[in-house]
Amino acid sequence: MNNKFYNNLGMAMRAGKIVTGEESVIDSVRKGEAKLVIVAEDAAVNTCKKVSDKCTTFGVPVIQFGSRERLGASIGKESRVTIAVADAGFAKMLKKSLENRTEVDGIE
């Protein structure tokens, strides 16, 4: 587990820089508001593909990390499969907290 990642995600939520839910996340990507998209590792294949394709089209980095329950808990919500970070500073901080991972710009 990467507690620093989850703590940073919680800070972004408290700052109001998080969008959750598949359609809301995709809308945020389309509008150019999303700076980073996070997809739960236990997300459905179709969800992963849909979100990844949209992020690729609009040049938004996407990572697959954590379980839906853990992602939701870190932002004070029930389980969440897709999360968009709408702030470049928080996006950079979250990516940095996962530096040891080999894949940050696409779903593995």
Q: Quick one: pLDDT at residue 7?
A: 93
Can you identify the CATH homologous superfamily of domain 3-96? Ribosomal protein L30/S12 (3.30.1330.30)
State which residues of the chain have pLDDT below 50: 102-105, 107-108
The whole model's pTM is what? 0.88
Please state the domain extents for the chain: 3-96
Q: Quick one: pLDDT at residue 79?
A: 94
Place of tokens 């709408």: 86
CA distance linking residue 34 with residue 47, whole number of Å: 17
Cβ burial of 36 (10 Å; 0-12, 13-18, 19+) is buried
Q: Quick one: pLDDT at residue 98?
A: 85
* Beta carbons within 8 Å of 70's beta carbon, 6+ residues apart: 1, 6
DSSP 101: S
